[in-house]
């Protein structure tokens, strides 16, 4: 494998991963609404239909339930489908196939079958797409045994985690924040994988641990730079994998820093931060805390259309800075 590293956008990294998977394994097929000639709702599929043909890159009817059902059935019968939802919100129309079929078939058939399907979900706010096209529903699917749920935050991880997902024998749900599609970063040539279930330390620090997901990783890193100028040293943990979750990395970080701030875009109540907080409360890290755990999640509201209200509905850098500062200085 070449060691050359180039700058690719997040969407280019995903497209490259799909092309590598299609070239390497004839069982891999792409499915989804408008992914063929149109190239996908966010142009992530691009020209793959021209390169691999309509038998490998298949437009499905405008029926998420039907398309997801075909993908699950194809996986059970030997293919390795990658199914794209136009928006993560539309997973609500296919929950029967995702939750009752894909997640449970291996268990209900005593391990006689696997369901190697990958489902891609463009997620999150920030595009002015309003309440029905801007949600962060990864915690919904993370609640379901039998599913693996991941949130790559960088182009490098977007490619490597997608290739890991294609090779996985179980259904993998990938939530891709829409605002990350144009973000660029170093991406190695050729095939590589990033392990599912392993968090990444994006910034080492000693005063506070921020566990963040998806685009919030970048906002947390920006906040950490502001806080560094004030003498507050923040460690940023990129969760990357919602299920399975890398508890060991989070626990070790909290034991080191003695404080924890969870930052995620999904609605705060019953969200990812609640699971992380409970896990820490049940672990050896609890007695090492010098302050209460703080969750910074989305507001208790549908995502507004108005751009200023939309920003106010999810965590932003100034809010992360303020919450972290209060934690370290003992305000909370």
How many CB atoms are located within 10 Å of the residue 215 CB?
A: 24
The predicted pLDDT at position 330 comes to 83
Could you report the per-residue pLDDT of 150-181, keeping only the tens digit for each?
999 999 999 999 999 999 999 999 999 999 99
Domain 200-329, what fold?
Answer: Rossmann fold (3.40.50)
Residue ranges per structural domain of the chain: 8-188, 200-329
- In this chain, the answer to whether the domains covering 8-188 and 200-329 adopt an identical fold is yes
Could you report the per-residue pLDDT of 79-107, keeping only the tens digit for each?
999 999 999 999 999 999 999 999 999 99
Tell which CATH classification among 3.40.50.970, 2.30.30.280, 2.160.20.10, 3.40.718.10 matches the domain 8-188: 3.40.50.970
pLDDT tops 70 at residue 4: no
* Residues linked to residue 85 through DSSP beta bridges, in sequence order: none
Instruction: Give the active site residues.
Output: 64, 133
Helix residue ranges per DSSP H, the chain: 10-24, 48-52, 64-76, 95, 105-108, 138-142, 155-167, 215-228, 247-257, 272-281, 307-312, 317-329
CA 243, CA 241: separation in Å to the nearest integer? 6
The predicted pLDDT at position 48 comes to 96
What region does 46 belong to: left with phi over 0, alpha with psi -120 to 50, or beta? Answer: left
The predicted pLDDT at position 2 comes to 52
Could you report the per-residue pLDDT of 218-234, keeping only the tens digit for each?
999 999 999 999 999 99
């Amino acid at each position: 494998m070449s060691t050359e590293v180039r700058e690719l956008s997040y969407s280019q990294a995903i497209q490259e991963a799909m092309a590598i998977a299609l070239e390497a394994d004839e069982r891999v097929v792409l499915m989804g609404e408008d992914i063929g000639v149109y190239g996908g709702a966010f142009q992530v599929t691009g020209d793959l239909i021209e390169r691999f043909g309509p038998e490998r890159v298949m437009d499905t009817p405008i029926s998420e339930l039907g398309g997801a059902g075909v993908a699950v059935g194809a996986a059970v019968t030997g293919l390795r489908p990658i199914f794209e939802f136009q928006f993560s919100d539309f997973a609500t129309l296919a929950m029967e196939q995702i939750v009752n079929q894909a997640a449970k078939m291996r268990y209900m058939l005593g391990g006689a079958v696997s369901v190697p399907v990958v489902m891609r979900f463009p997620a999150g706010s920030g595009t002015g797409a309003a309440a029905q096209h801007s949600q962060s529903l990864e915690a919904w699917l993370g609640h379901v045994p039998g599913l693996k749920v991941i949130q790559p935050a960088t182009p490098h991880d977007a490619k490597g985690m997608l290739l890991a997902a294609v090779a996985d024998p179980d259904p993998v749900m990938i939530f891709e924040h829409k605002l990350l599609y144009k973000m660029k970063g170093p991406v190695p040539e050729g095939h590589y994988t990033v392990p599912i279930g392993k968090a990444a330390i994006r910034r080492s620090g000693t005063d506070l641990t921020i566990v963040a997901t998806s685009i919030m990783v970048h906002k947390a890193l920006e906040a950490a730079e502001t806080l560094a100028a004030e003498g507050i040293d923040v460690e940023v943990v990129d969760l990357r994998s919602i299920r399975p979750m890398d508890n060991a990395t989070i626990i070790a970080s909290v034991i080191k820093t003695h404080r924890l701030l969870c930052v995620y875009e999904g609605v705060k109540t019953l969200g990812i931060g609640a699971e992380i907080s409970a896990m820490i409360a049940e672990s050896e890290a609890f007695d090492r805390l010098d302050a209460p755990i703080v969750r910074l999640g989305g507001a208790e509201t549908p995502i507004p259309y108005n751009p200023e209200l939309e920003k106010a509905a999810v965590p932003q850098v100034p809010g992360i800075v303020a919450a972290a500062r209060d934690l370290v200085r003992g305000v909370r």
